[in-house]
Chain A
Amino acid sequence: MIEYFISGPGSAYTRLVIYLVAFMAFVGLNAAYLVLAERKGAGWFQRRPGPNEAGPAGILQPIADGIKLIAKQVFVPPGVDGILFRLAPALVLMPAFMCLATIPYAETIYGRNINVGLLMVFSFGSITVFCLMLGGWASRNKYAVISAARVVSQNIAYEIPMLLVVLTVLMLTGTMDMQKIVQQQAGGFWNWNILRGVWTLHNPLVPVTFVIFFICMLAETNRAPFDMAEAESELIAGAMTEYSGFSWGLFFMGEYANIVVSCSVATVLFLGGWQSPIGILSGGAWGLIWFFLKLYLVIFTVIWVRWTFPRTQFYGLLNLSWKILIPISLGTLLLSSALIKIL
């Protein structure tokens, strides 16, 4: 019986259980420490120390925050839609978990390798928005409802250029299997998708598509300068206005889990996943190290952007997508397909 689960046909389930537990720990800790990284990062950008009281250099701050959030009352205001109001924070982490299961962290470390992994990531990634919308709608708060409406239109607007860009890359890779996509990028940083298309002339515009992907990623995860869902100086806290205690904390965790998912996808698609940038020191545990190095570099850029730029105006945001990003990504798609056909 035990053999069935360790080496037999049941090993896939064992793997799944182990990864689920590991992901829960990872997502929780990651969210907590990304908050610390964000606050520390903000401190550096703003020339102040950031949290530095709890533990050495403030490293226990997230734990203190977590305890505070758990200890707080989860207040359900009168007049809200009780079921949906409680359901939304419970659902908000689910899509991120599903996405994380398919991402290859190293050659052998992944939750479940399926041959349409990328498709799964994007289909689950696109339903994250429903949880925010649900929360905003159930709150019966005008600010929250405005935010919910914004989130939906923003996500629709940015899903399109994002998928067009991904399609362009898929033309180069020819597969949706994320593990295979990473394996194709072996050898060194010039083989990564962000540069490979340039020198193989299959698509000289891949760096542009990466920039578009990054912008869309910021918009999809509701990060500044596109944080329309929160927009604290306009909408108080947007969809999360009425949430308190750990139900609010779950939204927060969901936001950071989504950042990890999108940055992981960016790493896999454009930056060579777990491949070493110089060809040597690859394989085994090195893969994990390279992957997380790249992942956190992208995440750092996300934090950097947030603390540097002001927020875009909502209609400017939609115009950016419909009038600039979609035409450009369509153009790169056409160019790429033409070049692949010719060469």
Chain B
Amino acid sequence: MSAPVEIRYNGGGTIAPPPEETFVLNLGPQHPAAHGVLRILMRMDGEYIASSDIVIGYIHRMHEKMGENRIYAKFLPNTSRIDYLAAMHYTHAYVGAVERAAKIEVPLRAEYIRVIADELQRIASHLVGWGAWIMDLGGLTPILYAFEDRERILDLFEHICGARLTYCYYRFGGVCNDVDDEFLRGARDFVPYMRGRLKMYRDLVTDNIILRKRLEGIGIMDAEMCRRYGVTGPVLRGAGVAYDVRRAEPYSLYPKFQFDIPHFPQGDSMARYLVRMEEMEQSLRIIEQALDQIPAGPVMGKIPRVLKLPAGDYTYAVEAGRGRFMVRIVSDGKDTPWRLKLRTPCFGNLAPFEEASKGMILPDALALLGSLDLVIPDIDR
């Protein structure tokens, strides 16, 4: 291998002519493994990656700016569209920030419903991430099994809010519809069903020797590297750091529930894989506890007719499917925020790819890319 070659993409400009024996491989924005419009320019030395340059911004939709020029309630539907696979978490962070700022009391039943919906969403999100990742590795069947399970979760969500992907279910002060017995029964039935399915996935996929060979020791990102790039979520926990917003900055009712934070010290793709599988089990545990404790009562608190946040700087972070999602609202007392900042996890999770992929061969790099479980609109916002 020759020495790594520095290439930089200078905003639509040209790339310096390649030195001998290396070439630039343009991966994306329509590559099957890019899961959307991610583009990576890879300087290849044979099949080895000498250096890579990530080009993002193809699906930038100015969510932050949109939040700043409309009233608070009108931005609610946007929050489901940032990371469409973990829409509940994103809405949670936004309504949480507004509630914290306006000091709105949320009824207990609504908080329980939020926890149940959050954890169901986490399972659904991990299932898609898992299936799509295995598909990147060439296993074409698991994704359809994952979608079958996810379908049950989506049916439950459809039952409570009518939507299957972009929910807008949480509102300032609660949730928009109360859950009925059918939902609670469905959620309760889902827990043992999903436990059985997770066992099957362990036998069918996790213990498969080909999968283990493809993931073990591949794409090592240690805790130090993760910290430098601001990596959060399952990727960080796969590097052995037990950082989970649900514990580190407790929100909603999470302090009430018992759950572990799965973390594995290896820092390779397999560790990130195992973290996600374990997390689904932990989510089931939380759902079970929440279903046992859920009280009766209202699901909507008192909210002012015209919502104006007092001047100040408010943040609210949640553990979204892919890591720490934080909403920061800077208000100057008007009915629109002066500044709305969305801290999305995928942006930070993608950042170390350039460094971690150096010297890898292409299939390994794509296994690493899959292990980051990226949602491209979440990066570009």
Contact = CB atoms under 8 A, between A and B. Distances in A.
Interface of A: 42, 45-48, 142-143, 146, 224-225, 227, 231-236, 306-316
A307 B363 CA distance: 19
Contact of B138 (A142, A146, A225): A225
B148 interface: yes
Contacts of A48: 144
Interface in B20-42: 23, 25, 31-33
Given A143-B25, A310-B208, 17 more contacts: A45-B141, A46-B144, A48-B144, A142-B23, A142-B44, A227-B138, A234-B366, A308-B204, A309-B139, A309-B210, A311-B138, A313-B213, A313-B214, A313-B361, A313-B367, A314-B361, A316-B214
B145 interface: yes
Contacts of B137: 233, 310-311
Interface residues of B, number: 31
A233 B140 CA distance: 10
Contacts of A46: 140-141, 144-145
Chain B contact surface mostly: helix
Interface in B294-315: none
Contact of A309 (B23, B208, B363): B208
A146 B33 contact: no
Nearest to B144: A46
Contacts of B33: 233-234
B45 interface: no
B123 interface: no
Given A142-B25, A225-B138, A309-B139, A231 B363 contact: yes
A89 B232 CA distance: 49
A24 B362 CA distance: 39
Given A46-B145, A231-B138, A313 B32 contact: no
B141 to A, nearest CB: 5
A174 B147 CA distance: 53
A321 to B, nearest CB: 14
Contacts of A314: 47, 361, 363
B138 A233 contact: yes
Interface string B360-373: 01111011000000
B136 A146 contact: no
Nearest to B213: A316
29 contacts: A45-B141, A46-B145, A48-B144, A142-B25, A143-B25, A225-B210, A233-B32, A233-B135, A233-B137, A233-B138, A233-B366, A236-B32, A307-B140, A308-B141, A308-B204, A309-B210, A310-B137, A310-B208, A311-B138, A311-B139, A312-B210, A312-B213, A313-B214, A313-B361, A313-B364, A313-B367, A314-B47, A314-B361, A316-B214
Contacts of A234: 33, 362-363, 366
A313 B217 CA distance: 13
B141 A313 contact: no
Contacts of B204: 308
B5 interface: no
A232 B138 CA distance: 8
Contacts of A307: 140-141
B211 interface: yes
Contacts of A45: 141
Contacts of A227: 138
Contacts, number: 78
B342 interface: no
A2 B135 CA distance: 59
Contact of A232 (B32, B141, B205): B32
Contacts of B208: 309-310
B214 A236 contact: no
A48 to B, nearest CB: 6
Contacts of A142: 23, 25, 44
Contacts of A235: 362
A310 B32 CA distance: 16
Interface in B246-286: none
Contacts of A313: 213-214, 361, 363-364, 367
B62 to A, nearest CB: 31
A231 B140 CA distance: 12
A310 B138 contact: yes
B95 interface: no
Nearest to A315: B361
B330 interface: no
Contacts of A225: 138, 210
A224 B137 CA distance: 11
B140 A42 contact: yes
Given A224-B138, A231-B363, A234-B362, A310 B214 contact: yes
Closest 9 CB pairs of A and B: A311-B138, A310-B139, A46-B144, A310-B137, A233-B33, A233-B136, A310-B138, A234-B363, A307-B141
A153 to B, nearest CB: 10
Contacts of A309: 138-139, 208, 210
Contacts of B364: 313
Interface in B191-213: 204-205, 208, 210-211, 213
Contacts of B138: 224-225, 227, 231, 233, 309-311
Interface string B133-164: 01111111100110010000000000000000
B135 to A, nearest CB: 7
A146 B144 contact: no
Contacts of A312: 210, 213-214
A235 B135 CA distance: 14
A315 B360 CA distance: 12
Contacts of B145: 46-47
Nearest to A45: B141
A235 to B, nearest CB: 8
A2 B318 CA distance: 87
A311 B137 CA distance: 6
A124 to B, nearest CB: 29
Interface string B106-144: 000000000000000000000000000011111111001
Nearest to A311: B138
Contacts of B366: 233-234
Contacts of A311: 137-139, 210, 214, 363
